[in-house]
């Protein structure tokens, strides 16, 4: 055992470089690949233009039901056989839905990626979608959502979203739906959504040691039998910001604290001010040492935490401040938060605050983007 008298000081942080990315058209689709030399694991994610914005009115949450139903077997194998095939490769099907996209991915040793992509494509292109399985998956989602909506946060989020975008617009309704909208999903809805949106080629994102992978082969497997994705790009959803503040009260009898949401519409993710916006939000409420957390938590003692964030998609966005406070201090907490936001808007941030925020975000990203799966998601 070696003993030292003084604890070593941290060394200089190593610079982070995002992996080299290549793009390759294949079989009517596109493969986007990031090179990680020497890595033993590889990730493949099929990205489809089938996010929540593609759901019909009254069926919010449909895409999530479809995603879960993909794991219930295919035209060639029942659910058990399909699960065993995945297990034999040491992987699982990872599905996710956001506003813009529907994603299905696998992570395996590099040598097994082609086999895993075959199973991925089998689930996406030819899912079994048996009525009993679809109904069970839907009912499970309804049960999970009922538990989720028993909390105050989702109700506050829904009220703010509806006020910003309008409840008659898809961005104005919860991305994952609610118990009522998901309960309304039928087998025909699932089959039609799959037929319309999951039979397109999409984009295959591959992350791994590209010297050991054949991108053309992977793309051909993923896109086999699919039709080309439509070339047109939907325009941004423009939402005006009101010139006056509004207060919305959502009654929840028996609550022992108040859940607060403050926000307004924001630009979409590709806006040229994305980085400055993110850093400004970090100073305001994006870190433990932020202005809002220092004031509302450390000085006032109203809450365990308060944060701000830009939630941005490809076509729209919103700025949100979130917290929960003791009921008795709801009004002063709200006034303090609004005043701090106004101070930041009027006076901006200091050079020191900006330097700290920039360093913190850079360090955070370098840690987050270490694994093939994280890089694929970026």
The per-residue pLDDT for range 118-139, each reduced to its tens digit, is 999 999 999 999 999 999 999 9
Are 177 and 100 in a shared domain? yes
- Mean pLDDT in residue range 332-340: 97
What pLDDT is stored for residue 230 in this prediction?
76
Q: What percent of the chain has pLDDT over 90?
A: 87
Sheet architecture: strand order including 29-35: 21-26, 29-35, 203-208, 41-48, 102-109, 94-97
Q: Tell me whether strands 203-208 and 41-48 are parallel, antiparallel or unpaired.
A: antiparallel
Number of domains in the chain: 2
Are 181 and 223 in a shared domain? yes
- Mean pLDDT in residue range 5-24: 87
Flag whether pLDDT at 294 surpasses 80. yes
What pLDDT is stored for residue 8 in this prediction?
84
pLDDT band at 103 (very low <50, low <70, confident <90, very high): very high
166 inside domain: yes
Flag whether pLDDT at 107 surpasses 70. yes
The pLDDT tens digits of the residues spanning 237-261 come to 988 888 889 999 999 888 889 999 9
Structure-derived torsion over alpha carbons of residues 151, 154, 157, 162, reported in degrees to the nearest 10: -120
Flag whether pLDDT at 315 surpasses 70. yes
Closest CA to 118 of 197, 183, 204: 204
Flag whether pLDDT at 205 surpasses 90. yes
What pLDDT is stored for residue 296 in this prediction?
97
Closest CA to 29 of 270, 209, 202: 202
Kindly give, in sequence order, each residue whose CB lies less than 8 Å from that of residue 145, ignoring residues fewer than 6 positions away: 61, 176, 177, 178, 179, 182
Are 293 and 217 in a shared domain? no
Whether the CA torsion 369, 372, 374, 378 is positive or negative: it is: positive
Closest CA to 170 of 53, 319, 49, 320: 53
Are 317 and 279 in a shared domain? yes
What pLDDT is stored for residue 32 in this prediction?
98
pLDDT band at 1 (very low <50, low <70, confident <90, very high): low
Flag whether pLDDT at 357 surpasses 80. yes
Domain limits for position 199: 21-234
327 inside domain: yes
Mean pLDDT value across the chain: 94
pLDDT band at 114 (very low <50, low <70, confident <90, very high): very high
Flag whether pLDDT at 232 surpasses 90. no
Are 203 and 279 in a shared domain? no
The pLDDT tens digits of the residues spanning 165-176 come to 999 999 999 999
**Helix/strand/coil for 96:** strand
> Are 131 and 147 contacting, i.e. CB atoms less than 8 angstroms apart?
no
Q: Tell me whether strands 29-35 and 21-26 are parallel, antiparallel or unpaired.
A: antiparallel
Structure-derived torsion over alpha carbons of residues 287, 288, 292, 295, reported in degrees to the nearest 10: -160
CATH number (domain holding residue 283): 3.30.830.10
- Mean pLDDT in residue range 316-339: 96
Q: Where are the alpha helices (DSSP H) in the chain?
A: 62-69, 79-88, 113-125, 131-149, 152-165, 179-183, 187-197, 215-223, 274-281, 291-293, 330-347, 351-368, 372-377
Are 182 and 277 in a shared domain? no
Are 270 and 195 in a shared domain? no
- Whole-prediction pTM: 0.92
């Amino acid at each position: 055992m070696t003993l030292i008298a003084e604890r070593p000081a941290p060394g200089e942080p190593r610079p982070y470089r995002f992996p080299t990315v290549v793009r390759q058209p294949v079989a009517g689709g596109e493969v986007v690949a990031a090179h990680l030399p020497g890595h033993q694991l590889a990730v493949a994610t099929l990205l489809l233009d089938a996010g929540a914005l593609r759901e019909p009115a009254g069926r919010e949450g449909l895409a999530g039901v479809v995603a879960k139903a993909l794991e219930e077997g295919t035209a060639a194998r029942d659910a058990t056989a399909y699960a065993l095939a995945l297990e034999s490769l040491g992987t699982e099907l990872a599905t996710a839905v956001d506003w813009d996209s529907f994603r299905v991915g696998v992570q395996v040793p590099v040598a097994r990626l082609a086999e895993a992509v075959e199973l991925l494509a089998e689930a996406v292109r030819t899912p079994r979608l048996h009525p009993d399985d679809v109904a069970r998956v839907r009912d499970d989602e309804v049960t999970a959502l009922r538990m989720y909506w028993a909390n105050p946060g989702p109700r506050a989020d829904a009220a703010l979203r509806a006020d910003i975008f309008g409840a008659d617009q898809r961005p104005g309704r919860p991305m994952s739906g609610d118990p009522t909208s998901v309960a309304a999903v039928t087998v025909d809805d699932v089959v039609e959504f799959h037929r319309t949106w999951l039979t397109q080629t999409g984009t295959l994102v591959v992350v791994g040691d590209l010297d050991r992978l054949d991108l053309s082969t992977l793309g051909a497997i993923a896109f086999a039998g699919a039709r080309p994705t439509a070339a047109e790009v939907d325009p941004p959803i423009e939402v005006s910001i009101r010139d006056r503040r509004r207060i919305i009260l959502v009654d929840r009898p028996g609550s022992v604290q108040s859940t607060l949401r403050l926000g307004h519409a924001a630009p979409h993710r590709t806006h040229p001010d994305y980085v400055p916006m993110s850093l400004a939000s970090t100073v305001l409420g994006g870190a433990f040492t932020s202005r809002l957390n220092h004031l509302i938590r450390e000085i006032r003692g109203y809450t365990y935490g308060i944060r701000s964030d830009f939630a941005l998609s490809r076509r729209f966005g919103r700025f949100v401040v979130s917290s929960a406070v003791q009921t008795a201090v709801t009004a002063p907490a709200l006034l303090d938060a609004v005043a701090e936001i106004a101070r930041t808007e009027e006076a901006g941030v200091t050079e020191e605050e900006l330097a700290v925020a920039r360093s913190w975000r850079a360090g955070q990203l370098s840690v987050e983007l270490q694994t093939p799966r994280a890089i694929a998601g970026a």
